[in-house]
Amino acid sequence: MRYILFLMLTVLIGCTTSKISVKKNLNLSYRELLQHNITWQKTIRTLQGQAHIVLDTPQYSGNFEAEILISGADSLLLSVNGPFGMDVGKVFIGRSRFIFYNQVNNQFYMGDKSIFAERNFLHFPLKINQLRDIFMAGDYFDVLKKDLYEIRDDQYYIEASNGNRQYKMWFSPYYLHINRIEYYEEDRLLYYKEYSQFKEINGIYFPMAIDFVRPREQQAVSIYYNNLQLNEPIDNGLFEIKISDSARQIDLSLENQL
């Protein structure tokens, strides 16, 4: 059922995306391709949008609507609504501080960002420190050792490593962006991400559909942007979270997961 829903959403989003207007390019070197990826990610300074999110795990499955605000590397606000527009939760991540407001339980957490980095956001199989990169379609590499570089199935294909981490990547020959990337640790697949339905927004091609999957845990999150702005000014006041006077703060030392 989940895959049927994914297909239907992909078709609907595909109707709104632009047709390919760029030429196919299979002539880049390994370094040129990775440098293009780095440059592309650096060009995205702000992101503001609405998205439909599909969550599927053994413990919980559901559909959500979300509003996302990202400004630079320091500010992120994610607001999530459940069925019938019910407020579920909001999370703000700043340069050093963190606020999480669980609107269902009317509880809020706040404190140093480092305390929350490895915690999950609600029922999502996404850690707090992964949220920005997933919604921004970000994959960052410091130093990679090239293990394999070739044209496979009419796409660029890369296998690379950094210490005990390994990566397998497929790049589009049109947009020169990642279509799929697999993250391994000591040859064990941790998770993979897929990007599709690229659309030109403010001169930048960006994926309107993002899939994040942990195969071993049978956990998947799919993000389908239906309204998106890139590199437009964002009022700092939009990052403020209004918390109910009756909400209670939770002692984080007693909590295992948000």
| 256 band by pLDDT with thresholds 50, 70 and 90 | very low
Report the alpha-carbon distance of residue 54 to residue 2 in Å, rounded: 9
Asked whether the beta carbons of 201 and 43 are under 8 A apart, the reply is: no
| CATH number of the domain located at residue range(s) 2-241 in this protein | 2.50.20.10
| CA distances for 33 relative to 23, 29, 162, 191, 256, angstroms | 15, 6, 18, 22, 41
pLDDT tens profile 103-153: 777 878 777 767 666 677 666 777 777 888 999 999 987 789 999 999 999
Asked whether the beta carbons of 255 and 235 are under 8 A apart, the reply is: no
Which of 87, 127, 130, 61 lies closest to 244 in space, CA to CA? 87
Q: What is the pLDDT of residue 13?
A: 44
pLDDT tens profile 66-78: 999 999 887 899 9
The pTM of the full predicted model, rounded to 2 decimals, is 0.83
Residue 70: exposed, middle, or buried by beta-carbon count in 10 A (0-12, 13-18, 19+)? buried
Report the alpha-carbon distance of residue 48 to residue 157 in Å, rounded: 31
**Pairing outcome for strands 165-171 and 61-71:** unpaired
